[in-house]
Amino acid sequence: MENSPVVPGSPYFIMTYDTAKKLTGITEQTGILAVKNSDGHLDEVLTAVQEIADENGKIEVNMIEQTIKNIQHQYRASINALYMASAILFVFGSISLMNMLMVDFQNRKREFGLLKAVGATQKQLKSMLDREIGSYLGGSLLVSLAFGGLISIAACQRLDAVNHCISLKLPWLFLIALVAVMGGIYLIFVAYAKVELKKAEILPAIREE
């Protein structure tokens, strides 16, 4: 602790490994020691701690900012893997949703023909489909955000409990991409429905019924 030898009455002391093990139960003298300094004394404290570390040769001195960066770097690969998994689910989920909507539309062609037979106009059918697709996509978006948000909060709380420097940060680019894709699916399906509604014939629907 001090360059000078220990003298009676000195506030500094030396504890042997055996004594430390007997008193504390520590089998390996490794760990993290946090040092907090008063305002305006950072350089003085840092210099003193660095001198101790230099003399020991086995102590590493890190500022809190560097420690946070090290922990974040440690988890970066895992976080990037989660982003990649999310992107894959995002792409395949969008394709699956689009396919489901188109298949559903094809299966309902007879329904649209019968609605035309009872007097429904093209505009009314289009408005009905607009509401339905809006409900599908809006519900899917809300479920995705709620489910993803809950998982993210739980994961961040777990990591923060261990490391105390992990916080939830919204991936705005990812969220904007999600909304943009949902909007794209909406526009594509509306255009597709508009074309297909014109092909919905009344007589074949009545004959099938």
Q: What's the DSSP call for residue 101?
A: H
In the block, tokens 């305006």 appear at 40
Task: State how far the Cα of 35 lies from the Cα of 41, in Å rounded to an integer.
Answer: 12
Report pLDDT digits (tens) over 193-203: 777 777 666 55
CB atoms within 10 A of CB 152: 15
pLDDT at 201: 60
Task: State how far the Cα of 169 lies from the Cα of 153, in Å rounded to an integer.
Answer: 10
User: Quick one: what percent of the chain has pLDDT higher than 70?
Assistant: 75
The answer to whether 133 and 174 are in contact (CB under 8 A) is: no
SS3 annotation, 10-36: CCCCCCCHHHHHHHHCCCCCCCCCCCC
Tokens of 156: 């961040």
Report pLDDT digits (tens) over 146-169: 888 888 888 778 877 776 666 777
pLDDT at 33: 67
Report pLDDT digits (tens) over 14-65: 556 566 566 666 556 556 666 777 777 778 877 887 787 777 766 777 777 7
In sequence order, which ranges of the chain are alpha helices (DSSP H)? 17-24, 42-56, 64-107, 109-117, 122-163, 172-199, 202-208
Cβ contacts of residue 13 below 8 Å, gap of 6+?
1, 6
Task: State how far the Cα of 149 lies from the Cα of 142, in Å rounded to an integer.
Answer: 10
Helix, strand or coil for residue 166? coil
